[in-house]
Amino acid sequence: MRRGARAWPAWLLPLASLLALLSMLAAGPARANVYDAELSQQLLHGPDLCAHAPCRDVMPQAGRFSLRKGRPSYVEAFAGGPGEAERLVGYVFLSTDVVDIPAYSGKPIVTLIGMDGAGVITGVRILKHSEPILLAGIPESTLLKFIAQYVGQRGDAKLEIGRGGGAGGAVGLDAISGATVTVIAENQVISRSAYEIGRQVGIFKREPRPPPRYTALDERLSWDQLLAEGSVARLQVAPGEVGLDGDGPYIDMHFGHLNVPSVGISVLGEQVYKRLMAELKPDEQAIFIIANGAVSFKGSGFVRGGIYDRIQVRQDPQSYTFRDTDYQNLYGVQAAGAPAFTESAVFIVRSENFNPAWPWQLAFLANKAEGQSGAKTFVHFDQQYWLPSRYLVGGRPLVERPEAAWRAIWRGKMVEIVLFLCVLAFTAAMYSQRDTLVRISSRKHKPWIERPRHVLWLVSVVFLGFYLKAQPSITQVLTWFHSLLHQWKWELFLSDPFIFLFWWFIIASVLVWGRGVFCGWLCPFGSLQQLALSVGKFVGLGRYQKLLPKRIHDKLRWLKYGVFAVLLGVSFFSMEAAEQLAEIEPFKTTFIVGVWNRTWPFWIFVGAILGWSFLSERPYCKYLCPLGAGLAIPGKFRLFGLKRKAECTTCHACAAGCGSHAIDSAGRIDQMECMLCLDCMILYYDDHACPPLVGERKRREKHGLALTAIDAGGYFIKLESVKDALAERAGDVAGKPP
């Protein structure tokens, strides 16, 4: 597109912005109320769950519910009419009491689940979620339809997202289009919660585990050797992980299992070890803990007869806490090289169900301050411990671990991932050869650039956008900021392979070439705007296609940076509010959710942008896109930019044809705005379009001088250089023996 004499009114863009705000306001009533539900501490942690949660919704046949019991906790449900004996009909439990599985937002989906005495799920109700994809795009009825699939399924069934062949007895469930990661996380929440409560109450039986038999090894190991082989494990929690500031550790614990002779003697010394083992019963296990940090692992509120409320040992669904009778003093560690510590203990696990031959976790419990509100939430930090194989007769037992959800996602989409990587590789390879491509092009004939880019735009819209739904968003940037500040979880970002890979490509390309490779070549919504412009030109709208005047553009382009700053700032006070305001991005409506699933303000907003795109080049990218603004800032420090020559400071040929308005009156390219269309680079080498080259070409033609090749600096190679080179070559040939 080229600038013409007539420009579109400057009020058109603010009108589009107003429509964006209207769409966001209209989104509020459409939200599912479980997004912004306030859950009381009594519901989350109080003894009477069903006084605060709708337990009858998930266990309709029950007339009375018990208080919370067990670890993890659950509620017993009883039924019985007048004159009938009350009978146990099932169990109700809150997912966050059982598992801590973050969904795409990084926060868990709080789910209430009911299960009868036979292990069949009787009801599921989501009480709260923080999923941005469900904020405004997907109606609550779709979410209710998804969780309704669990009613009637057994808690120990193998439930998988997606309808497959039922291999291995798996039960396939329909997903929610556009929210695959969210439903995979919720599937894990429901399945694991039901299974672990079922095992705890005896519905689902666990295979018996033979007691551990230790090898006859009797060694004296140093502290470094114990750490290296895993006989001693370490659990560290930084202040930032509990919402605090500080440099030192919040808690730094080392721990290990003492019943193994080599470990116990190395840590305690032979005499203390023998005395401890003599005191233990056959089914009792001793662990030691030493620690440093800002807090005590023993808990500040411990009193005689109470429990140590900051630590637990967990194995499978069972948790083991310690009372004062389970505690013994640990006065010192005998292993050479052991670190200094401020507190220590030996705790005794008194349960025949605890088997140290299988993996277990030490859990540290803490209260976490949430953001600006300072509200406290209960969190735990786990570190696995598993005895080295050489200490167990026959080695470690075979343990089947559930596959990480992100691994299953990647494996199931391997074909699409390979195709996606091919698209990224082709784009990078093509742009890396830009110098060759622009040299074989001209201002009026550039098929080697225009045709591949149109193919990439089509692929981006159809394959990346509508099919893979791989549209990067500002909400992901905000999530990364907060993950870096609070708690980084790779699993969260790995859960969507296409977004994960796309962002690595974006990071690399922005730092090497600038934002234009992604924004100008691969962004699905940017590509949709560019195709709209091409279609408009094809159907005869070319004469109406205009750019805003440069002076107006130079003011309005700062809008997107303001939008980015507002979203980032709001996110530090409320991520939910930032996600609502991020509806200024039309990406979710266009690709993720679908226009047909949104209300009329969203249709108008997207329609206005695309309608304007038929008449002007990428208006949304230029003036409103917060993602483009976020990428433009690091792109300022790219390694490679586009070429300029001395005459560009006074020549305006490239600026007149720049559809991005990225070239100023002094001929400088603003790489923060440039979409890398390469039109100016074509002119750079075109001796029929670049004024300095045109002038030199005409001068040589007038005087009958040869037209030499154009060098990397954008000039004809000097005739003197060619003559000198020919003379030197002739001399070399003459000097060679015949």
Burial class (CB in 10 A: 0-12, 13-18, 19+), 503: middle
Predicted local distance difference test score (pLDDT) of residue 501: 94
**Is residue 316 domain-shared with residue 242, that is, in the same domain?**
yes
**Is residue 250 domain-shared with residue 295, that is, in the same domain?**
yes
Task: Judge whether 631 lies within some domain.
Answer: yes
**Domain boundary at 201, 232, 249, which?**
201
Residue 656 host element (H or E): helix 653-656
**Is residue 619 domain-shared with residue 665, that is, in the same domain?**
no
Burial class (CB in 10 A: 0-12, 13-18, 19+), 341: middle
Contacts of 200 (CB under 8 A, 6+ apart): 70, 72, 74, 317, 318
**Sequence letter at residue 556:** L
Which residue in 399, 405, 381, 382 sits closest to 188, CA to CA?
A: 405
Tell me phi and psi for residue 360, to 5 degrees. -145, 170
Predicted local distance difference test score (pLDDT) of residue 187: 83
Task: Judge whether 249 lies within some domain.
Answer: yes
**Is residue 659 domain-shared with residue 710, that is, in the same domain?**
yes
Predicted model pTM: 0.69
Task: Judge whether 19 lies within some domain.
Answer: no
**Is residue 229 domain-shared with residue 360, that is, in the same domain?**
yes
**Is residue 602 domain-shared with residue 478, that is, in the same domain?**
yes
Buried b (16+ CB within 10 A) or exposed e, 458-489: ebbbebbbbebbbbbbbbbbbbeebeeebbee
**Is residue 590 domain-shared with residue 443, that is, in the same domain?**
yes
| Host domain of residue 386 | 223-391
Cα separation, 158 vs 155, whole angstroms: 9
**Domain boundary at 391, 424, 445, which?**
391
**Is residue 323 domain-shared with residue 370, that is, in the same domain?**
yes
Task: Judge whether 591 lies within some domain.
Answer: yes
Task: Judge whether 212 lies within some domain.
Answer: no
Predicted local distance difference test score (pLDDT) of residue 520: 94
Cα separation, 234 vs 339, whole angstroms: 12
Predicted local distance difference test score (pLDDT) of residue 37: 73
**Is residue 107 domain-shared with residue 195, that is, in the same domain?**
yes
Predicted local distance difference test score (pLDDT) of residue 140: 67
**Is residue 529 domain-shared with residue 622, that is, in the same domain?**
yes
Task: Judge whether 30 lies within some domain.
Answer: no
Cα separation, 614 vs 542, whole angstroms: 9
Describe the strand order of the beta sheet including 64-65 as a list of residue ranges.
Answer: 64-65, 75-79, 87-94, 110-116, 121-128
Predicted local distance difference test score (pLDDT) of residue 437: 93
Torsion on CA atoms 715, 716, 717, 723, rounded to nearest 10: -150
Task: Judge whether 518 lies within some domain.
Answer: yes
Cα separation, 417 vs 427, whole angstroms: 15
**Is residue 437 domain-shared with residue 549, that is, in the same domain?**
yes
Predicted local distance difference test score (pLDDT) of residue 572: 82
Describe the strand order of the beta sheet including 360-370 as a list of residue ranges.
Answer: 318-323, 307-315, 360-370, 375-385
Residues of the chain with pLDDT under 50: 1-16, 18-19, 21-32, 164-168, 303-305
**Is residue 665 domain-shared with residue 631, that is, in the same domain?**
no
Which residue in 267, 263, 238 sits closest to 252, CA to CA?
A: 238
Task: Judge whether 398 lies within some domain.
Answer: no
E-strand ranges in 610-649 read none
Cα separation, 255 vs 234, whole angstroms: 6
**Domain boundary at 614, 640, 666, which?**
640
Buried b (16+ CB within 10 A) or exposed e, 397-411: eeeeeeeebbeebbe
Task: Specify the number of domains making up the chain.
Answer: 4
